[in-house]
Amino acid sequence: MSLSSFGKTSSASEEKNSTPPVESIQKTEPTQKAKLGKKSTAKVGKTATLNIQVTRAQQRWLQNTAQDIRDNNDGPVPGPQRVYPVHLIQAAIDLLRTQDIVWDEIKDVEGLKDALNL
C-alpha cells in the first residue's frame, strides 16, 4: 500500500483477492496444551500488579517497617536495593509458599489463620 492510498477503502475486487479461498486454507490438528499442575509458578522476573485492601494499621506498619529497614543503612542505598512495603509483601508471599500447609484443606480465613498458628 502506498502512502497516497493510505486511508482509502479497498474495492470489492481487491478484497476478494486478499482473502484466500476456504479450500486453500490448510487444516491443522489442534495442539495439545501442556497440563499445568497446581504447583506451577509464574516465570521469575515477570511482575504483575496486585491491588490489595489492608487496614490503615497494616499500611502504617508496612511503611514504618520498610522505613526502619532503610534507616538501618549508614549511607545512601541505590534505588533498586531500597526496601519498600511492596518488598515486605513479596517476602510474606514467599514465606507463605514455604509453609507446610495442605492448601486444598483451607476453606476460609479462620482456617488459614489456624494453619499459620496466628
So what's the pLDDT on residue 79? Answer: 87
Q: What is the DSSP letter of 44?
A: T
- Residue 118 inside a domain? The answer is yes
- Residue 21 inside a domain? The answer is no
- Residue 27 inside a domain? The answer is no
- Residue 99 inside a domain? The answer is yes
Q: What range defines the domain where residue 61 resides?
A: 51-118
> Mind listing the pLDDT tens digit for each residue in 19-65?
444 444 444 444 444 444 444 455 567 889 999 999 999 999 999 99
So what's the pLDDT on residue 4? Answer: 54
- Residue 12 inside a domain? The answer is no
Residue 118 CA to residue 112 CA, distance in Å, equals 9
End-to-end C-alpha distance for the chain, whole angstroms:
66
In the predicted structure, residue 116 carries a pLDDT above the cut 70: yes
> Mind listing the pLDDT tens digit for each residue in 64-89?
999 999 999 999 999 889 999 999 99
Provide the residue type at 12 as one letter.
A
> Mind listing the pLDDT tens digit for each residue in 87-110?
999 999 999 999 999 999 999 999
Provide the residue type at 47 as one letter.
T
- Residue 3 inside a domain? The answer is no
Are 79 and 87 spatial neighbours (Cβ–Cβ below 8 Å)? no
- Residue 44 inside a domain? The answer is no
Residue 21 CA to residue 17 CA, distance in Å, equals 9
So what's the pLDDT on residue 22? Answer: 44
